[in-house]
């Protein structure tokens, strides 16, 4: 068991989720229960699953939760693209957030490999 707050990937994912909550405040009201909700849920799911995995007893369980976090990161990447293509997210904001999510994905993949090699 480890402290999730000490993981750089958790901190980056947490900051990403905060940014998503901020940028989706201006999404159209008709998207509140659809795209806004989905983007917020998957982005907050990334640090949440990292935190939950850190509380598990085995490295295998931790690895499984990191994989779930990676799935949420992929989902967030798609919803960012959809938001941009629908005109809800400016291109520059999309570029920055897309760079952020790709960095988080790379960090998760690296951590998954490290955890699995310790099994």
Tell me what the pLDDT averaged over the chain comes to: 97
The one-character DSSP state at 34 is T
Confidence (pLDDT) at 2: 86
* Spatial CA neighbour of 49 closest among 66, 74, 26, 61: 66
Confidence (pLDDT) at 99: 98
Confidence (pLDDT) at 41: 98
pTM, 2 dp: 0.96
Q: Rounded mean pLDDT of 27-49?
A: 98
Please report which residue ranges of 24-90 form alpha helices under DSSP H: 35-54, 59-85
CB atoms within 10 A of CB 89: 23
Domain locations in the chain? 7-117
The model's pLDDT over 46-93, given as tens digits with 9 standing for 90+, comes to 999 999 999 999 999 999 999 999 999 999 999 999 999 999 999 999
Confidence of residue 8 (pLDDT cuts 50, 70, 90): very high
* Fold entry, domain 7-117: de novo design (two linked rop proteins) (1.20.1440)
């Amino acid at each position: 068991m480890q402290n999730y707050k000490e993981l750089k990937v958790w901190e980056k994912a947490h900051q990403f989720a905060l940014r998503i909550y901020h940028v989706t405040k201006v999404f159209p009201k008709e998207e509140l229960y659809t795209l806004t909700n989905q983007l917020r849920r998957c982005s907050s799911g990334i640090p949440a699953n990292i935190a939950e995995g850190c509380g598990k007893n085995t490295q295998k369980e931790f690895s499984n939760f990191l994989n779930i976090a990676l799935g949420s990161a992929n989902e967030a990447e798609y919803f960012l693209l959809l938001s941009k293509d629908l005109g809800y997210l400016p291109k520059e904001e999309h570029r920055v957030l897309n760079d952020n999510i790709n960095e988080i994905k790379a960090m998760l993949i690296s951590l998954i490999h490290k955890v699995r090699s310790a099994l």
